[in-house]
Structure 1
Amino acid sequence: MNPATPGSPLRTPGLVDAHIHPDKSAWGGPWMSRRPATTLVDLIDNDRATQFAYTRSVEERAFALLSNALTNGTLAMRAHVDVSSELGTANVEGVRAAAERLPGLDVQIVAFPQFGLLTNPGTLEVMAAALDSGADLVGGIDPGGLEGDLHGHLDAVFGLADRAGRDIDIHLHDGGEDGLAQIREIARRTVVGGRQGRVTIGHAFALCDGSLPSLDETLDIVADAGIWIATCALGPDPVPDIDRFEQHGVHLVAGSDGVRDSWSPFGTGSMVDRAHLLAYRTGAITDAELERAFRIASTAGGEMLGIDDIANWAGPESGSGLEFEAENIAQLVTDRPAPTRVLRDGRDVRPAG
């Protein structure tokens, strides 16, 4: 990613949001006040109440957010979309309909059991149905901390993925040595099943705790299994030691997580903003460190999602990519301008208006 020549825009690869929840978002609607929450269970309960209270459809809200993300340079994303016995596959269908209205944006949908898999009977069957209704991957959530059955939860997730021939993307908020043990079990199953490179763990807060005795061992196991780690650098959440991840060969991508939903009033859907936040939260100072944050939010995500024109960006002459008014990537990450052009196959694909 070379600096811009004088008088010319800076050209970069497209951005990738590797972890976002568009079905939860209130984007484009009136201001929504949030309820207080001190635990993950509180946040999920608030989310459940909010989703059933929305008057705007999933498609309308998701389209508003996805349009803003595309305008700000996101050319691909992995969307975690809720499925449950109560919601059925409606959220998946709504997000898929929104995505189809934006042909410049690649959207992979994860069937995500936010309200529980084993603890919410019927959800596994709905997840299987979601894979026929627009979902691409099988999701999971905190097998130990929320589900209380590490092996039962992973049996269900990996079993469904095997039967459907799909990849896996699991939320894992649990920290401490227990969180690391869950990550090692996911890695073990990944290797046994020949799934190297096809499993992602979102958040993985335990991997961000440098005080844990088994951290380095676990990072090596994650790297050997080819597992991708998605970080969102949110608020008080732990962030990875990027140098340490790189030393162990762990692949890192970035995402927005929730954007203006019941979980948080923050977020814009701009991965330039997210690269800035990741750089800020990890103490980036040098141009190289700022450029690394941009790579994590762009080409690394393209590699994880298998999006060739992002992962293997052909350079400034490519028909796909972004143009910015900035001297270089370091300034771009610091100043956070919106792109002046968002190109796919030589066309500016920013939505009208």
Structure 2
Amino acid sequence: MTALITTPGFVDAHIHPDKTTWGSGWLSRTPAQSLTDLIGNDLRAQLSLQDSVEDRAYALMSQAVLNGTMAMRAHVDVAPQIGLKNIHGVRAAAERLAPFLNVQVVAFPQFGLLSNPGTLELMEAALTEGADLVGGIDPESVDGDLHGHLDAIFALANRHGRDLDIHLHDVGAEGLAQLRVIAGRTVAEGMQGRVTIGHGFALCDASQPAIGATLEALADAGIWMATCALGADPVPDLDLVESHGVKVALGSDGVRDAWSPFGTGSMMDRAHLLGYRTGASTDDELERCFRLATTAGAELLGSAVVKGFSGPTSLDRLEFAANSIPELVVDRPAPLRVIRRGEAITLKA
């Protein structure tokens, strides 16, 4: 017999709602052989979309809310090619959903920071026009200047008192070396616990000789890892990462955008995918996937709504027809009810 269980809400620790085509027409995607190809395809797609950023972001974020997400960290593109319209659009969508969803906006230099002139000035402006965090991206492979890129984003973060969230797709020994530099810089700047690495694909290759030393450096700096288990992207050995003291949270990444046709906005689906991609089979392993999608993400974002969950009487909770958390992760049902402030959520179009 199926029981009713209650859980904390979901937290999406890494999502790109400004890029989504959710609620819009179908986007046919162009083949890409490299990160540079993907970034170029992304810009062309964004410039071609007819629906506003606010409308598309609201459609996706509403879908997330109805599937139990109560907080998210949204990475939002900033560049001369698009100005600050994505920041304004996502912030407007977030304000419409404010009673139900806590949103942190990251100003994200997707198309390069130093290598795309004018972006750094727009990043600074974004922090006064709706962005909460400073983002970065592959200082070497995208910007071609590891120390210059870090100088710029750490300076922005310090000047405005903001945290950092850096995309790092680079792999192998070079990727690990960048991570150790970032960890050292984090400690030198006194920003322990305030820096996140998104993706961190170099950390997903346990065969690398320097993987242990790199994880230890990240742990010493209090740096989080946000992983997404998207498509063919590498996933970490969670036992290895956590055994070194590095905290991990889970996100959706791109949802039905130029990068990928997949994604649902449901963190239950994402926990299932993480379990599948990492070979989870025991109850403990499946429960960890759920934890990374809920309370771990809440710790990263400082979400009191999710961290404050105390059981069936919590004012903010999810209700499911299931007998256990491992069963939830495998079956990935939608919640029967999403409860915020003691009331079941209903959203208007």
Whether 1:309 and 2:343 are equivalent positions in the alignment is no
Whether 1:46 and 2:41 are equivalent positions in the alignment is yes
The match for 2:105 among 106, 109, 112 is 109
Deviation of 1:30 (Å)? 1.5
Task: Show structure 1 runs of 4+ deviating over 2 A.
Answer: none
Q: Under a length normalisation based on structure 2, what TM-score does the superposition of the two structures give?
A: 0.98
Superimposed CA distance per residue, residues 54-110 of structure 1 (whole angstroms, 9 cap, x where no aligned partner): 110000000000000000011000000000112111100000000111120001000
In the alignment, is the contact (CA less than 8 A) between 2:17 and 2:56 conserved in 1?
yes
Whether 1:347 and 2:318 are equivalent positions in the alignment is no
Aligned AA for 2:319? E
The match for 1:213 among 209, 215, 219 is 209
Q: Residues 237-276 of structure 1 correspond to what in structure 2 (within 5 A)?
A: 237-276=233-272
In the alignment, is the contact (CA less than 8 A) between 1:14 and 1:321 conserved in 2?
yes
Deviation of 1:312 (Å)? 3.9
Aligned AA for 1:147? D
* SS state at 1:24 partner: coil
Deviation of 1:311 (Å)? 2.3
Q: Under a length normalisation based on structure 1, what TM-score does the superposition of the two structures give?
A: 0.97
Deviation of 1:315 (Å)? 2.0
Aligned AA for 1:65? L
* SS state at 2:313 partner: coil
Structure 1: gaps of 5 or more residues: 1-5
Deviation of 1:7 (Å)? 6.8
Deviation of 1:352 (Å)? 3.7
* SS state at 1:238 partner: coil
Question: In the alignment, which residue of structure 1 is the partner of 2:91?
Answer: 96
CA distance in 1, matches of 2:11, 2:305: 12
The match for 2:125 among 107, 126, 129 is 129
* SS state at 1:171 partner: strand
Question: In the alignment, which residue of structure 2 is the partner of 1:3?
Answer: none
Whether 1:11 and 2:28 are equivalent positions in the alignment is no
Deviation of 1:8 (Å)? 4.9
Question: In the alignment, which residue of structure 2 is the partner of 1:198?
Answer: 194
Whether 1:29 and 2:24 are equivalent positions in the alignment is yes
Superimposed CA distance per residue, residues 132-177 of structure 1 (whole angstroms, 9 cap, x where no aligned partner): 1110000000001111100000000000000011000000000011
Structure 2: gaps of 5 or more residues: none
What is the total number of aligned residue pairs between the two structures? 348
CA distance in 1, matches of 2:2, 2:42: 48
Identity %, equivalent residues: 64
Question: In the alignment, which residue of structure 1 is the partner of 2:50?
Answer: 55
Aligned AA for 1:31? W
CA distance in 1, matches of 2:107, 2:198: 14
Superimposed CA distance per residue, residues 300-335 of structure 1 (whole angstroms, 9 cap, x where no aligned partner): 000000011312422222111101111111111001
CA distance in 2, matches of 1:98, 1:293: 28
Whether 1:75 and 2:51 are equivalent positions in the alignment is no
In the alignment, is the contact (CA less than 8 A) between 2:20 and 2:257 conserved in 1?
yes
CA RMSD of aligned residues (A): 1.0
